[in-house]
Amino acid sequence: MTADASLISRTATEIRDLLKTGDVSPLDLLDTLEARIAEVDQKVNALPTLCFDRARAHARALMDKPVGERGPLAGMPVPIKDLTAIDSVRTTMGSTAFEDHVPDQSDIMVERLEAEGAVIYAKSNTPEFGAGANTFNDVFGATRNPWNTAMSAAGSSGGAAVALATGMAWLAHGSDMGGSLRNPASFNGIVGMRPSPGRVPSSVSPPIDGTLGIDGPMARTVADLALLFDAMTGEDDRDPLSAHHGGTSFLDAALSAKPPVRVAFSADLGITPVDPEVAAVCEKAAGRFAEAGVEVVEAHPDFTGVHDCFRVLRAKTFASALKPVYDSHRDKLKPELVWNIELGLNQTGADIAEAEHQRARLFHNARDFFKTYDLLLTPATIVPPYPVEQRFVAACNGHTFDNYVEWLGIAYAITLIASPAISIPAGFTASGLPVGLQIAAPPRGEAGLLSAAAVLEKILWPQPITPIDPRGGD
C-alpha cells in the first residue's frame, strides 16, 4: 500500500479499470487521497470531515471478495455531501444545531453506493441545510474556489466540486434543488448533473412526495459522471418515488457520444439578467455543437411565472422539512434560512395551489418544446465566481433581485419542469474563472443527455481541465 500522486490526474473510468485489473487496490487509492488532502485542502476547505479508518475497514472487506464481485465501482472512493447521513460519521448539515450529530444509520443512497463498490472516506462541505449557493457555514467556515481562492465555490455542493477540481476526489456525491449540483460545477470547471426525480433513491424526509431536492453525481468528465450515476440509480421500496432504471447503462450512453439533431440555446430563458461575459462564453460553446452536425437555434419554452412558483414551492419544502429545527433552534439558523422557513409557514393554501398550477403549466410548456428540440442549452449560472465573503448575488447587469435565491432562476426553472440537466465546462472569463454550460433534456432523458454532453465535451475539451492545484487570490 502506498500513495501514488500520478493517480490523481487519471480519470475515474481509468481508475476503475485499474481496480478491475488489480493494478491498484482501494487501499492504494485511499492512501493517495489522504496525501492529496493533506497537501491542498487547507487552502480550499472542501472536505472538513474525514473517515479514513472507516473507509479502510470497508476497503478491506471489499478486497476479501473476488474482483468480479466488488460491484461496478470496484472500490472507488467517493465523498458524501454533509447533508446526507453516514453511519458513525459526524454529519452536521452545516448547522451548529447539529455540529455534534453522529447518525447510527446511513441514508439509503449511501447504502446503495457502498453495495455497488464505493468506499466512503469524507464528508464534503455545504452551506447550512444546503440553503444558498455559496458554501459557507458556522461549523466549518467557507469553501474556496481553487481557480482563485478569493472566490466562492458556489453551492450547495461546493465542497464536492472543489474536491474534484483539486484532485481530492475522482467522483463525488451532491444534491440539487435550485442548481446545487450545477452551480458549483460551473464555478469549479467540473461536471455535475441533476437527474430526473426518482432516478436516485434516498431516505425519505418531509415532504414525502417532494421532487425539488434530489441527489446526483459529480465528476471531472461526462463519462466519469455516468459511471457514478449507474451506481446511484435504481428502485428502492423505502423511497416511493424511486424507479427502476430499465437496465440502461448510462456509462455506455456517454461513451457512445451520439450527437442530437436539433438543440435550442437561450442565454436567459426570458426570465433573468445574465452577465454579458458569461452569456458570450456559453453562446460560443453551444454554437460549437454545429461542428458535430447539430442544428443550434435560439429558442426557449415559456417560463412566465417561474420565480413566484419556485419561491412558494421551495418555501413549502423548507417549512415541511425544517419546522422542528426552526422550533427548537431558530436562534442558531442563518437569517436567509429563517426567512425561507417562515415564508413557508406563513403562506396560504391558495398560494400553494397557485404555484402547483403554475408548475404544471411550465411542465407542459417544456414538454411541447422538447417535441421540437432535443435539448435546451443555457448558462449554468448567470455570473462568474464572485468574492467568497459575498453571501449571495444581490444584483446582476443592473437588476436587483428580490431574495437570496432569485439569481438562480436559470437553474431552478429546469428543476420545476422535472428535466435532467448537466453542467459542463463552457470556457473561461478573461480573468481565468470557469463558466459552465447547462444542458437540459426531457424527463427521463439522461441517456441521450449524457451522450450529447460527451459529444460537446470532446469538441470543447479534448483533455480534462482539472485537477488543478489551488491558486491564491488577492
Catalytic positions are 81, 156, 180
- Chain length of the chain: 474
User: Per the structure block, which three cell numbers stand in for 357?
Assistant: 398550477
Say which residue the cell 474556496 belongs to. Answer: 144
User: What's the CA gap between 434 and 219, in Å, rounded?
Assistant: 15
Residue 288's identity, in one-letter code, is R
* Cβ count near 20 (within 10 Å): 15
User: What's the CA gap between 474 and 108, in Å, rounded?
Assistant: 42
* Cβ count near 147 (within 10 Å): 26
Q: Is 392 helix (H, G, I), strand (E, B) or coil?
A: coil
Cβ density class 331-357: b for 16+ within 10 Å, e for less: ebbbebbbbbbebbeebeeebeeebee
User: What's the CA gap between 84 and 157, in Å, rounded?
Assistant: 12
Q: Is the peptide bond before 156 cis (omega within 30 degrees of 0)?
A: yes
User: What's the CA gap between 307 and 305, in Å, rounded?
Assistant: 6
295: Cβ contacts below 8 Å, ≥ 6 apart: 261, 262, 263
The per-residue DSSP string of 76-106 comes to EEEEEETTS--TTS---TT-GGGTT---SS-
Q: Between the CA of residue 292 and those of 159, 296, 456, what are the distances in Å?
A: 34, 11, 8
